Amino acid sequence: MKRTFQIYRYDPDKDAKPYMQTIEIEL
């Protein structure tokens, strides 16, 4: 079973703008 998460990421030191990060986790 897989769960997919979308995380809203923003790192002003490295990223010019916020972005969505998709993570898949095996449960």
Give me the tens of pLDDT residue by residue for the chain, a chain 27 residues long.
999 999 998 888 987 899 999 999 998
pTM of the model: 0.45
The pLDDT score that the predictor gives to residue 20 is: 92
List of long-range contacts for 3-7, beta carbons under 8 Å, 24+ apart: 3/27
Positive or negative: CA dihedral 25, 8, 22, 4: positive
* Neighbour tally for 12: CB within 10 Å: 8
Give the residue among 9, 6, 11, 8 at the shortest CA–CA distance from 23: 6
Residue 11's domain comprises 1-27
Separation between Cα atoms, residue 23 and residue 16, nearest integer Å: 21
The pLDDT score that the predictor gives to residue 14 is: 85
Q: Would you say 8 and 22 are in contact if contact means Cβ atoms under 8 Å apart?
A: no
What is the count of structural domains for the chain? 1
